Amino acid sequence: MGDIPGMRPAIKIPPLIASEAKEYDEQFHTQKDKDDLLSGGRAIQSWIPKYQLPQEVFKQIWDIADVGKDGYLDLMEHRVAMHMIRMAREKAELP
C-alpha cells in the first residue's frame, strides 16, 4: 500500500498520564469562567507569556483543541490544548 498524495504521515501522540490530566484540570479550574468554559482570549492571554510559543503554534493548538469550534474550551478540550502545548514545548510535531 502506498502513501496517499497530500496526506501527512501519522504523528505519534504520547499518552496523557493521570498526573498531567490532574495538573491540566487544576489549571482549567483557575482560568474558567462561570459557565465552566475557557474563552480563547482568556486562554491566549494566559498561555503566551507562560509558555512562550509562537502565536501561530497557539493558533494551531486552538484549532485542534476547540472541537466544538465555538471559541471556548471545556475541560476535555483544555486537556487536549495543554497536552499539545507540552508537545510543542518539547519540540514534538503537532498533528
pLDDT band at 1 (very low <50, low <70, confident <90, very high): very low
Question: What mean pLDDT comes out for the span 16-24?
Answer: 95
Residue whose cell numbers read 466544538 = 68
* Torsion, CA 63, CA 64, CA 65, CA 68, rounded to 10: 70
Q: What is the pLDDT of residues 48-81, one digit of tens each?
A: 899 999 989 999 999 999 999 999 999 999 999 9
Entry pTM: 0.84
CA angle, 45 then 49 then 52, to 5° = 120
Question: What mean pLDDT comes out for the span 19-45?
Answer: 92
